[in-house]
């Protein structure tokens, strides 16, 4: 079950410029920056009252974010939902006919296990499921 919107992901061409823009817009500093080498992305996170904003910048020309930016330009990349049990959600959504980009969760930014639904399954919106990694 989806518990809340965990974050909105925004693809940007220049992460440093976008970070400054969002610091001004939100009136606060980012609380975390992180590189996810396996995805060829660098992320910057901002907390809002009930969710987060994630800025995504490509670190490799062939990364999914680089390809997204080339094809669609800057803007909303995905909506992420917090889930309690990512494996159960994967099975539930598959049984309901949703297409996943991968069948197994992987390590993502901000101490999360993640998996994405294909946009064809969700009316053109890339949906990410996030589960907090428990230490």
Tens of pLDDT, residue by residue over 25-75, are 999 999 999 999 989 999 999 999 889 999 999 999 999 999 999 999 999
d(CA 128, CA 100): 10
Q: Which residue, among 63, 46, 42, has the nearest Cα to 54 in the 3D structure?
A: 46
Q: What is the mean pLDDT of the segment spanning 9-23?
A: 97
Three-state DSSP state, 49 = coil
d(CA 107, CA 120): 23
Q: Percent of the chain, pLDDT > 90?
A: 93
């Amino acid at each position: 079950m989806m518990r809340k919107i965990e974050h909105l992901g925004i693809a940007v061409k220049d992460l440093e410029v976008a970070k400054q823009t969002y610091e001004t817009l939100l009136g606060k500093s980012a609380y975390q920056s992180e590189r996810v080498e396996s995805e060829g992305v660098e992320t910057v996170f901002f907390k809002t009252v009930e969710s987060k904003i994630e800025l995504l910048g490509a670190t490799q020309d062939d990364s999914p974010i680089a390809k997204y930016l080339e094809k669609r330009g800057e803007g909303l990349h995905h909506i992420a939902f917090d889930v309690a049990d990512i494996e159960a959600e994967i099975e539930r959504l598959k049984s309901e006919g949703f297409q996943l980009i991968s069948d197994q969760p992987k390590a993502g930014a901000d101490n999360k296990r993640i998996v994405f639904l294909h946009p064809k399954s969700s009316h053109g919106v890339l949906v990410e499921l996030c589960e907090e990694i428990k230490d």
